[in-house]
Structure 1
Amino acid sequence: MGEYQRATLVTNIISALESLDPLSSPEPCIYKVPDPLRKLKKEAYSPQILSIGPFHHGNEKLQNMEKHKLRYLKEFIERANKNLEDLLPVIEDSEESVRQCYAETISLNRYDFLKMILVDASFIVELFYRNWRGAAAWTSYDKVLLKPWLAATMQRDLMLLENQLPFFIIKKLFDLTFSSQGDLPSFTKLTFEYFKFFNTQKLPPNPEPEPRIMHFVDLLRRFYLPESLPKRTAKKVKHVYSAAQLDGKGLKFMADHSRHCLLDLDLDYKKGVLKIPHITLDDTTEFYARNLMAFEQCHYPNAAYATDYFILLDFLIKSEKDVDLLGRKGIMVNGLGNNDATFINSLATSIVYSTMSTKYYDICIQLKKFYEDPKHGWLASLRRDYFGNPWKAASTTAVVILLILTLIQAVCSIISVHPHH
């Protein structure tokens, strides 16, 4: 290569390097869902009616809500007794911090980006405020738009990984505008109230929870984590027998109503009892499961506790028989209208996990051991064939008693014929 060609190549490479977009942040927390997961079920990660944040901003299918969001901004400004000149500096001061929360470079210019943050954040504050105040806060305009199905879809959209604003910027806007209104709770409390259905452990909305909430998907994950997190292991579990198979070997499945943490399973190997907290399977379950797992894939690859749970559920549920069994045991309420296990079976597809909760790993190993122990096979057959229901148990008991009495009678007869001398 000649000197001129080499110099030209160097110039081209330098130009390419300089044109690279800057890294958005060393520690982003809002991600686009990885393609392998998105391809499995695109609608589980895409908003249906409401765009929040930059990833779906400008989507033509979501434009119907934009006027509603602007109306909320107008009423937010009036309620706060502020003007745009008061509000915009708060957003401007945090622009770079907000941009750094996204794992993708945001192409919106500064004007559009700041407007989007203000409109979306004020909409969320107003929505949560009205939800907290109840019927008295809803306007006639709300009553037209916020039908039950629409309100449920809106809440679902706010739980999508790609549809997030950083929590801190919404809270910052709320604190600026409403901190002087003494009758209002903190924004954290308003958020907990809006998502209270998912807060099965009744976690308290501390004013400054630690670690701080990153966004609503992060909060949702926190709702499901146990108070004490088990250690992780790099050991892998590739197979666990299904619920119906384990039931056939005599394992008892029990609904645990005393525990409010969904992830808190407990196996008593000696008694052959697996306790599982109650869960409802419906479309919402699938959406939050998929988005929680996607978030953990991106942000918590070595602390994927929610992923552990859904992988174990995938192991246990392989067919309609398993769904039916867990339903009869009161563990699972199936709101899908049938016993189709397809969505559970596909949850772990394309999920990459390098570590697993030591507690779940031990449960999986013990379940395999229980199934493969020969004694559980014949004991289960005995229970199933002769003690499967009260009638079988009664007749079996009667037969055993009759045999014992017959045996005693035979022994007595022999003794009477051949008495001892």
Structure 2
Amino acid sequence: MEGINYRAANDIENPYSELETSILEELDSLSSLSPSRCIYRVPDALRRVREKAYTPRVVSIGPLHHGNEAFKAMEEHKKRYLKHFIGRRNLSLKDYIRKIKDQETKLRSCYAETVDFKSDEFVRIILVDAIFIIEFLYRSWYPNLVDENDCIFGKARLIQGVWPDLLMLENQLPFFILEDLFDPRDFPVPSPSKVSTGNIDRLSIIFLSHWFLNEYAIQMEEREDQLKKICSSKVQVQHFLDLLRALYIGPAELVLKRQQVEKPKTVTAPNITELHRAGIKFKEGSTTDLLDIHFIGGILEIPKLKVWDDTEIIFRNLVAFELCNDLEYYISDYVSIIDSFVNTSEDVELLVKYGLVENMLGDNSQLSTMINSLAAGVELIPSEFYYASLCEDLSKYCSSKWHRSRANLKQNYFNTPWRTTSVIAAAVLLILTFIQTVCSALSIA
């Protein structure tokens, strides 16, 4: 960037010369924004809602949280993984250092804020953390490699603390450096090979990442098809969180275009209880695509979602990533529509009853509160809202007096075989009584 000419024309006559010079020097020192940036600090508007969802608890990855005393013990564990990694590799430590050093500028450009660490310290951080992730993924997939002295896998609680930290936006490493440091020839594949599933013919960092996310984070049906699409597409995975988002919704060019509604009448849907009272039927979605919520012929289809302790962390960081990286708001819109569906524990109870949600939190009120808080800080753009047409269709259906009356009749008078029989018997009795009355009147006449 060319320097700004900040010399004042007449220093003596300009009483603001010193301040002007200072400001222009600051502007001149600003670096240009990198188009490669994909790792951000979470905006305060989101962080204030739930600080713990964005702050690592067990392990820091990358420079943003490096040096925090809370992670000092884990730093030693990471170095033990590095020692093991170097001990069974074909390359020496200097070869890995050179690989990172050669790409230092590219690595730094992935962080939205300027990383203040000097070159050697920055390279050290990336090296230790990248090798830790590779070893962690490999040992997760191939537990026979884990010995009894493993400081992480020997403690179940520690593993449960590590994996959510790997999905936090501020705790990411650029995916390309993991791929560059990972050589499948150095990693033995167990027999029978788990890698033979799908069309993946050898061990890769994206395969291990997919397995890890599917095992710990996604908690839905296996997504081999999604992985194949990602691998065959031209999309470059940016980091773990980006890969998780792609597995949920598919690569950007493969996601169906949202239906544009220039001026939607509403961007909120009736809650599940209201939909139920209007006679809408619920059905578990037939696909694993998270976004695939649709309403046809009075039936609302929603892909099943499993909710457990760390679901909140995952969705909050995905929403933050979309907001910061100027991505399509697919996950944010999904969170918003689910928030519309759920107002109280009664709504959650219906979702669980019809198999649309598996609540591993145990308490429906707790889940209701969590879902409602997820949408806090999420801004909707009505004309781009993914579910705008769905909201309009559901609202229109619920406002129909015919649908409400029919549903009320069915739910209150024909909801069990005994009630149905009783209502029919009563109707027959009324008809017979009416006929008898008419016949009596005619005979008298």
Give yes or no for TM over 0.5.
yes
**d(CA) in 1 for partners of 2:325 and 2:82?**
32
1:105 alignment partner, SS class: coil
2:355 to 327, 330, 340: 330
**d(CA) in 1 for partners of 2:441 and 2:312?**
70
Q: CA separation of 1:112/1:355 partners in 2, compared to 1, >3 Å: closer, same or farther?
A: farther
Map of 2:26 onto structure 1: 16
Matches within 5 A, 1:76-225: 76-134=85-143, 136-142=144-150, 145-175=153-183, 178-179=184-185, 183=189, 185-197=203-215, 198=218, 200=221, 201-202=223-224, 203-205=226-228, 209-225=233-249
Does 1:31 find its partner at 2:40?
Answer: yes
1:367 to 390, 394, 404: 394
* Deviation of the 1:317 alpha carbon: 0.3
Map of 2:5 onto structure 1: none
Segment of structure 1 superposing worse, 215-224 or 327-336: 327-336
**d(CA) in 2 for partners of 1:182 and 1:140?**
20
Map of 2:409 onto structure 1: 382
Q: CA RMSD in A?
A: 2.5
Map of 1:402 onto structure 2: 429
Q: CA-to-partner distance for each residue in 1:123-158, whole Å, 9 max, x for gaps?
A: 111111112222x10022226654223212211111
1:4 alignment partner, SS class: coil
* Deviation of the 1:188 alpha carbon: 1.3
1:289 aligned partner, one-letter code: F
**d(CA) in 1 for partners of 2:154 and 2:439?**
84
* Deviation of the 1:172 alpha carbon: 0.5
1:243 aligned partner, one-letter code: I
**d(CA) in 2 for partners of 1:150 and 1:53?**
19
Does 1:231 find its partner at 2:258?
Answer: yes
* Deviation of the 1:182 alpha carbon: 7.7
Map of 2:283 onto structure 1: 254
* Deviation of the 1:414 alpha carbon: 6.2
Q: CA separation of 1:94/1:412 partners in 2, compared to 1, >3 Å: closer, same or farther?
A: same
Map of 2:333 onto structure 1: 308
Partners of 1:297 and 1:352 within 8 A in 2: no
Segment of structure 1 superposing worse, 87-96 or 337-346: 337-346
1:280 alignment partner, SS class: strand
Q: CA separation of 1:356/1:95 partners in 2, compared to 1, >3 Å: closer, same or farther?
A: farther
What TM-score results when the alignment is normalised by the length of structure 2?
Answer: 0.85
* Deviation of the 1:57 alpha carbon: 0.8
Q: CA separation of 1:163/1:412 partners in 2, compared to 1, >3 Å: closer, same or farther?
A: same
Q: CA separation of 1:356/1:103 partners in 2, compared to 1, >3 Å: closer, same or farther?
A: farther
2:48 alignment partner, SS class: helix
Percent identity reads 38
1:216 aligned partner, one-letter code: F
**d(CA) in 2 for partners of 1:152 and 1:13?**
48
Segment of structure 1 superposing worse, 161-170 or 82-91: 82-91
Map of 2:314 onto structure 1: 288
Map of 1:74 onto structure 2: 83
* Deviation of the 1:413 alpha carbon: 5.8
Partners of 2:287 and 2:303 within 8 A in 1: yes
* Deviation of the 1:24 alpha carbon: 4.9
Segment of structure 1 superposing worse, 409-418 or 156-165: 409-418
* Deviation of the 1:380 alpha carbon: 2.1
**Alignment size in residue pairs:** 410
Q: CA-to-partner distance for each residue in 1:61-81, whole Å, 9 max, x for gaps?
A: 112211110000011111213
Partners of 1:232 and 1:355 within 8 A in 2: no
* Deviation of the 1:10 alpha carbon: 4.7
2:63 aligned partner, one-letter code: P
Q: Which stretches in structure 2 are left out of the alignment for 5+ residues? A: 1-8, 190-201
**d(CA) in 1 for partners of 2:19 and 2:311?**
54
2:168 alignment partner, SS class: coil
1:223 aligned partner, one-letter code: L
* Deviation of the 1:364 alpha carbon: 0.5
Map of 2:272 onto structure 1: 243
**d(CA) in 2 for partners of 1:238 and 1:358?**
7
**d(CA) in 2 for partners of 1:8 and 1:48?**
46
2:116 aligned partner, one-letter code: S
Q: Which stretches in structure 1 are left out of the alignment for 5+ residues? A: none
**d(CA) in 2 for partners of 1:146 and 1:155?**
15
**d(CA) in 2 for partners of 1:182 and 1:142?**
19
Segment of structure 1 superposing worse, 163-172 or 280-289: 280-289
